[in-house]
Chains A and B, each alone.
Chain A
Amino acid sequence: AQSVTQLGSHVSVSEGALVLLRCNYSSSVPPYLFWYVQYPNQGLQLLLKYTTGATLVKGINGFEAEFKKSETSFHLTKPSAHMSDAAEYFCAVIPIQGAQKLVFGQGTRLTINP
C-alpha cells in the first residue's frame, strides 16, 4: 500500500527565510504527487502537482517542489517565507495504477516568525 511520510510535524522559520517541507513516498512505481495547503478553518487547496515531465514543478504563492525518483521524495520549497504562508501543508500521492484514492501524509504545520 502507498504511504507518505512528512518529516517534521511542525516547522518554524523566520519571515524571509527559506521554507523546506519534506515528503517521501513508498512505491516501486512513482505515483502522482501533490502538495495541498490548509489555512486555518478552511478546506484543502492544491498548491502544486507532479504527474509527468519536468521534475521541478511550480505552484501557487511562490512554492515549488522537485520530484526525485532516486530518493522517492517530493520536497516543497519556497525561497522566502511570508507571514501569509502560515498553514498546514499536506503531501499526498495517488497511484498511477490500481486503487484510485489520494493518500495523505500526516501534515506539517508551518509557522512564520516575524
Chain B
Amino acid sequence: EPEVTQTPSHQVTQMGQEVILRCVPISNHLYFYWYRQILGQKVEFLVSFYNNEISEKSEIFDDQFSVERPDGSNFTLKIRSTKLEDSAMYFCASRGGPTNTGELFFGEGSRLTVL
C-alpha cells in the first residue's frame, strides 16, 4: 500500500541551526501538507502546497519556514534558524486531488528537538 515517508525520524539540533525535514508523498497525489504537534498538544496546520506553490499557510509559518518540492518527488520543510519552541513532531501529509474525498495520508513524523 502506498505510504508517505519522512526522514529523519528524529533530529536533534542546536538553537539557531538550519534544519531540513524531508518527505516523499504518495506518488500520484497533488496536495501536500506540513503539520506540527508540540508534545501533548493538538496537531496544527502549517502549510499546504499545490501546483508548485503554497496554497495556504498558518500564522505559525513565518519567514523562518519554507517549503520546496525540488524534484517532483520530495517535499521538504526548511527551518532557517531554529528556536527552542520549534521542538515538535512534524508530520507531512498528501492528498489525491480536488475531486477525491479529502482524506490526508500522513507520514510517521519527524521529531525535532532544539537544544
Contacts and interface: CB of A to CB of B under 8 A. Distances in A.
Contacts of A96: 102
Contacts of B105: 46
Contacts of B12: none
A88 B96 CA distance: 26
B107 A101 contact: no
Interface residues on B, range: 20 to 34
Interface in A63-114: 90, 94, 96, 99-107
Contact of B103 (A49, A103, A105, A107): A49
Main secondary structure of the interface of B (DSSP, over half): strand
A32 B102 contact: yes
A27 interface: no
B102 A44 contact: no
A42 B104 contact: no
A55 interface: no
Contacts, number: 59
Interface residues of A, number: 22
Nearest to A42: B108
A25 interface: no
Interface of A: 32, 34, 36, 42-46, 49, 51, 90, 94, 96, 99-107
29 contacts: A32-B102, A32-B103, A34-B103, A36-B106, A43-B91, A43-B107, A43-B108, A43-B109, A44-B106, A46-B105, A51-B101, A51-B102, A90-B42, A90-B43, A94-B104, A100-B50, A100-B56, A100-B98, A101-B48, A101-B56, A102-B33, A102-B45, A102-B104, A104-B35, A104-B42, A104-B45, A105-B42, A107-B42, A107-B43
